[in-house]
């Protein structure tokens, strides 16, 4: 959570009056009905899409699976960074949100979607990876990276365990695994469920962000979500042409490890972790807090202005 989120806390799940100390000398007091009304208004302002949508990168489309809605890149980044307090990430090209809950529900969760044109990922090492050792290595690397996270105003992260051990489906050319994470002093652990869909020139990265208690619900939807991404002809994994196509420095094992393997001569870490907004808590400096108070910040893209972002069908 960014430093600005620590200015004050707004408790959403309580029946009493809600107070926080804003940037000014005045005290903002919101009753429960006002908070809920503004949350409902924010949810209605998001422009969800369904059906078949051409993705912004990777020469593929997503057939939005039953039970989900799609948010375009701008809105997805607004939810992830301004509302949930994650570091900005311009690589995000969409968000899949369950239809039965909003992005500000106490039990909210979602799948991020991005694409990395890293080249053709060879999968011949998939059966040889020692995932127990990989877990220990990643836990160590995460601890070592925390100093930089904290220095940049974000919470430290503890990689607790595999929530679901890595599994590679050779037939469908998909890889998935899940991590149980602890952010800062949060008492509720976070689930990051990772899916990688391999193509001829790169991979799609789909990451479920949820509370650990949502694990059964997320796992139930994995096959549906994996099957929702479809590369166009010429971009599928099977379309690879040896000798002419770019081969990625990554392997399947490297994708799980989050780094290019040592045999390439150098390391590139991908220590990305996503979190939800803390359950029932939002910082007074966040985009949501300003929206709840009825104040806009020109530096942020307010939800009510999303309609000016252009034709959502162009995403």
Q: How far is CA 139 from the centre of its chain?
A: 20
Mean pLDDT of 158-170: 92
Pairing of strands 120-122, 110-116: unpaired
Task: Kindly report the average pLDDT of the chain as a whole number.
Answer: 75
- pTM listed for this prediction: 0.73
Across the range 160-178, mean pLDDT stands at: 92
Listed residue (46, 39, 15, 19) closest to 277, CA to CA: 39
Q: Is the pLDDT of residue 312 over 80?
A: no
* pLDDT one-digit tens code per residue, 197-221: 999 999 999 998 888 888 999 999 9
pLDDT value at 173 more than 90: yes
Question: Of residues 236 and 264, which shows the higher confidence score?
Answer: 236
Instruction: Return the pLDDT at 175.
Output: 92
Q: Say whether pLDDT at 232 is over 90.
A: yes
**Buried b vs exposed e over 234-253: b needs ≥16 C-beta within 10 Å?**
ebbbeebeeeeeeebbbbbb
Rg (CA), the chain: 20
The larger pLDDT score, comparing residue 303 to residue 100, is at 100
Structure tokens, 12: 């959403």
For the chain, list the domains and their CATH numbers: 3-293 (3.40.1000.10)
> Structure tokens of 40?
């409902």
Q: Which of 46-55, 247-256, 282-291 is the least confident region?
A: 282-291
What b-and-e string marks burial along 15-38, b requiring 16 or more CB atoms within 10 Å of the CB? Answer: eeebebebeeeeebebeeeebeeb
> Could you tell me which of 222, 219, 214 has the C-alpha nearest to residue 105?
214
Q: What is the pLDDT of residue 313?
A: 25
pLDDT at 6: 25
- Residues whose CB falls within 8 Å of the CB of residue 212, separated by 6 or more in sequence, listed in order: 163, 180, 188, 189, 190, 191
Going by C-alpha positions, the residue among 195, 187, 146 that lies closest to residue 169 is 195
Question: What is the maximal distance between C-alpha atoms in the chain?
Answer: 67
- Other C-beta atoms closer than 10 Å to the C-beta of 42 total 21
Q: What local confidence, expressed as pLDDT, does residue 258 receive?
A: 67
The model's confidence at residue 259, banded by pLDDT at 50, 70 and 90, is low
Do 257 and 263 meet the contact criterion of CB atoms below 8 Å apart?
Answer: no
Lowest mean pLDDT among 23-27, 46-50, 140-144, 308-312: 308-312
User: Would you state the pLDDT for residue 183?
Assistant: 86
Strand pairing class (247-251; 120-122): parallel
pLDDT: which is higher, 205 or 187: 205
Q: Which residue has the tokens 């899940």?
A: 178
Q: Is 190 helix (H, G, I), strand (E, B) or coil?
A: strand
Is the confidence at residue 314, as pLDDT, over 50?
A: no
Strand partners, 193: 178, 208
**Tens of pLDDT, residues 24-80:** 333 345 566 777 777 788 888 899 999 999 999 999 999 999 999 999 999 999 988
Does the pLDDT at position 223 exceed 50?
yes
User: Is the pLDDT higher at 236 or at 29?
Assistant: 236
Q: What is the band of 273 on the pLDDT scale with cuts at 50, 70, 90?
A: low
Cβ atoms of 130 and 137 within 8 Å: the answer is no
Is residue 308 classed as helix, strand or coil in its secondary structure? Answer: helix
pLDDT at 303 over 50: no
Q: Identify the pLDDT of residue 130.
A: 86
Q: Rank 14-18, 108-112, 129-133, 260-264 by mean pLDDT and report only the highest.
A: 108-112
* Paired residues of 174 in beta bridges: 169, 197
């Amino acid at each position: 959570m960014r430093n600005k989120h620590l200015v004050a806390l707004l408790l959403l799940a309580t029946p009493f009056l809600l107070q926080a100390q804003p940037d000014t000398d005045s005290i903002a007091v919101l009753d429960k009905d006002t908070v809920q009304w503004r949350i409902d208004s924010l949810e209605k302002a998001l422009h969800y899409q369904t059906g078949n949508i051409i993705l912004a990168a990777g020469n593929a489309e997503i057939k939005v699976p039953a039970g989900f809605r799609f948010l375009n890149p701008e809105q997805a980044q607004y939810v992830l960074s301004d509302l949930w307090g994650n570091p900005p990430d311009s690589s995000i090209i969409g968000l899949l949100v369950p239809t039965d809950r909003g992005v500000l529900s106490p039990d909210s969760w979602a799948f991020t979607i991005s694409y990395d044109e890293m080249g053709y990922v060879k999968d011949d090492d998939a059966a040889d990876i020692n995932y127990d050792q990989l877990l220990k290595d990643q836990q160590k690397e995460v601890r070592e990276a925390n100093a930089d996270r904290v220095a940049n105003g974000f919470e430290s992260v503890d990689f607790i365990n595999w929530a679901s051990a890595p599994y590679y489906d050779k037939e469908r050319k998909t890889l998935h695994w899940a991590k149980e994470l602890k952010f800062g002093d949060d008492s509720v652990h976070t689930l990051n469920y990772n899916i990688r869909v391999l193509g001829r020139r790169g991979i799609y990265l789909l990451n479920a962000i949820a509370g650990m208690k949502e694990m059964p619900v997320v796992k139930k939807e994995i096959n549906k979500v994996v099957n929702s991404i479809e590369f166009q002809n010429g971009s599928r994994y099977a379309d690879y042409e040896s000798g002419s196509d770019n081969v990625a420095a990554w392997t399947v094992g490297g994708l799980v490890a989050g780094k290019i393997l040592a045999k390439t001569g150098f390391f590139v870490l991908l220590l990305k972790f996503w979190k939800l907004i803390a359950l029932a808590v939002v910082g007074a400096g966040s985009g949501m807090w300003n929206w709840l108070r009825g104040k806009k910040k020109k530096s942020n893209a307010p939800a009510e202005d999303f309609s000016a972002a252009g034709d959502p069908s162009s995403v």
